[in-house]
Amino acid sequence: MVMDVMSAAARLEQAGRHVIHMEVGQPEAPAPAAALAAAREALGGSGAALGYTESLGIPSLRRRIARHYAETHGEEIDPATVLVTTGSSGGFVLAFLALLEPGDRVALSVPAYPPYRHILTALGCEPVLIRTGPETRYALTPEALLAAHRDAPLKAVLIASPANPTGTMMTAEALARLIATAEDAGIAVVSDEIYHGLDYAFPATTALAASRSTVVINSFSKYFCMTGWRVGWMVAPEQLVRPMERLHQNLAISVPTLSQVAAEAAFDGRAEMEAVKAGYARNRDILVKGLPACGIDRFLPVDGAFYLYADVSDFTPDSHAFARALLEEAGVAVTPGLDFDPVAGRHFVRFSYARSEADMVEAVARIGRWLKGMG
């Protein structure tokens, strides 16, 4: 649904309208300068170095990713367990294919990123949607997971912290309890950590701190602002590395070499990325303070990522119609909650604050005028 909003916004822009984009989770900032410089240098040669790489990824990049866990989380990771993927999306496909068989049930909290359930369904698996609430920061609890497991056995559970669309995070203690409960019940754990680095309320914790049996998926798309480069990574249990490697050899051969070269250099751009993150924090404050003044005052804790998920049922019973009217009449593009929750999502919309500070100020002003006009 978010891609439909993007298309509608593009049509308005082609007609000369100015649209503020709050619908897609795409950083406005460019890739780090070090990444761009490395890519230019690679392109400046004969091109021979841009052939296929090992399916698991360029060894030096895998070592650098492993080092990142030591530097950021204090966790020593064997580079042999790191796999470079085509964004986090490629990681999900490889993880699900390696862990699951058709008919397997996989627990997901709701609301959640829609491709989780769509990829699982395409592979013949059954997404088990477990509703969450504000009392748990919209995170899955051990009790809810076990209740779903009693209904019919679960093969895996997918966890995301910080989460899309909610921006909520699990504390280290809550994450550890959930992982321990899942593993005790024989349920495999996949942890989506694509928004790590973008945390405001408290530091994000990797699932690897709780267990080395988890499959961790991450990407250079969000914190490192490299969406279009399509490069991510996984850290997998040792016994899954070879099956995932064989799958990747057949599905993609390898991740684009230029993207891998740039990704390795991106780790040298942390100062730039921290400046971008500080901008997100300012944008977050603008929305947290500005939206309630407009009348939108029911939203989830904004712990991390760059999303705010708000209840708009005071204004409409149909978030899709609300989003369409907001775009057409006020020039602000947001995503209907139905993308993330097929049932309760009709009451919610997601605001992305990954754009400029000026855009956020103008968006709040436009939304306020538009809602006042509705009244």
| Backbone phi, psi, residue 54, to 5° | -55, 145
Q: Would you give the DSSP letter of residue 186?
A: T
Architecture of domain 34-268: 3-Layer(aba) Sandwich (3.40)
> What is the C-alpha to C-alpha distance for residues 301 and 312, in angstroms, rounded to an integer?
16
Pairing of strands 335-336, 348-352: antiparallel
> What is the C-alpha to C-alpha distance for residues 217 and 49, in angstroms, rounded to an integer?
27
> What is the C-alpha to C-alpha distance for residues 239 and 190, in angstroms, rounded to an integer?
15
**What are the extents of the domains in the chain?**
2-31+271-374, 34-268
Contacts 24+ apart (CB under 8 A), 168-173: 168/137, 168/138, 168/139, 168/300, 168/301, 168/303, 168/304, 169/137, 169/139, 169/199, 169/201, 169/202, 169/204, 169/303, 169/304, 170/137, 170/139, 170/205, 171/202, 171/205, 172/205, 172/209
Is the separation of the CB atoms in 244 and 86 below 8 Å? no
Task: Write out the chain's pLDDT in tens, 375 residues.
Answer: 777 888 888 888 889 999 999 998 889 999 999 999 999 999 986 655 789 999 999 999 999 999 999 999 999 999 999 999 999 999 999 999 999 999 999 999 999 999 999 999 999 999 999 999 888 888 999 999 999 999 999 999 999 999 999 999 999 999 999 999 999 999 999 999 999 999 999 999 999 999 999 999 999 999 999 999 999 999 999 999 999 999 999 999 999 999 999 999 999 999 999 999 999 999 999 999 999 999 999 998 899 999 999 999 999 999 999 999 999 999 999 999 998 999 999 999 999 999 999 999 999 999 999 999 875
By CB atoms closer than 10 A (0-12, 13-18, 19+), residue 36 is middle
> What is the C-alpha to C-alpha distance for residues 17 and 14, in angstroms, rounded to an integer?
7
> What is the C-alpha to C-alpha distance for residues 225 and 178, in angstroms, rounded to an integer?
30
For the entire predicted model, the pTM comes to: 0.94
Q: What angle do CA 256, 204, 65 make, to 5 degrees?
A: 30
> What is the C-alpha to C-alpha distance for residues 112 and 51, in angstroms, rounded to an integer?
37
Q: What is the pLDDT of residue 112?
A: 94
Cβ partners under 8 Å of residue 58, min gap 6: 84, 257, 260, 261, 264
The two domains 2-31+271-374 and 34-268 share their CATH topology (first three levels equal): yes
Element (H, E) at 40: helix 33-43
Note the CATH number of domain 2-31+271-374.
3.40.640.10
> What is the C-alpha to C-alpha distance for residues 154 and 184, in angstroms, rounded to an integer?
12
Q: What is the pLDDT of residue 45?
A: 67
